[in-house]
Structure 1
Amino acid sequence: MAIPNKLKRYGYHVVIAIDQLFNALTGGAADETLSSRTYRGAVFAENPKKRWRVLYRVINGIFFDRNHCKMAYESEISGKQHDERFKAVQRG
């Protein structure tokens, strides 16, 4: 039963890494997902650019979740996507 959990965790981290790479390639921070960056651009900006508002709707639509970008941002803030081994280093 541990193998599927390891495989799932591995897949999750690979998807996050690809997302972060794409974000970095498009001018964003290396350790942030595009969804989180989009949320910041669409919601927190004083005068959000149209591209962020459109991308916000597109990304949320792709995931069939109107709160996907918001949850991605909150995950970035809380470090939810960090591996348990990294969290142990942070605590200690």
Structure 2
Amino acid sequence: MREAMTAYLYHLLIALDQLANAILFGHADETLSSRAWRVEQKGRLWGIVLRPVIDMTFLVITLGADRHHCQSSFESERLRKQLPAEFSAEASKGTQ
């Protein structure tokens, strides 16, 4: 039961993060963390300012365990790690 609640809260936080990003004219399926890292790489001022703030926040929250939160978020988005297993390309091959 505790694992289910933890997963639920995790997914809820991601959904709220994606909603905030969409409200701020971002892609609906991207988190602010991922976007901050991505636009920082393009040299955009708001990414250069916001990415270190987000990373520092997660560094404190995770007691030093998540030093590169925004980059990790970007990689997770790029690799689609947040998708349920049923949505993966390998799983869909069996349903065709």
Give TM-score, length-normalised by structure 1: 0.84
1:16 aligns with 2:14: yes
Instruction: Tell me what 1:54 maps to.
Output: 49
Provide structure 1 residue ranges, at least 5 long, that are not aligned to the other structure. none
Structure 2: segments with no counterpart, 5+ residues: 60-65
Q: Looking at both structures, which has the greater relative contact order when contacts are Cα pairs under 8 Å and sequence separation is at least 6?
A: 1
1:3-82 equivalences under 5 Å are 3-43=1-41, 45=42, 48-64=43-59, 65-82=66-83
Deviation at 1:90, TM superposition (A): 5.9
Matched residues in 2 for 1:41 and 1:80: separation?
20
Deviation at 1:66, TM superposition (A): 3.2
Q: Distance in 2 between matches of 1:13 and 1:86?
A: 16
Deviations 1:44-71 (A, max 9, x none): x1xx122110101100011014310000
Q: CA RMSD in A?
A: 1.5
Identity %: 41
**TM-score (normalised: structure 2):** 0.81
The aligned residue for residue 91 of structure 2 is 91
Q: CA deviation at 1:82?
A: 1.7
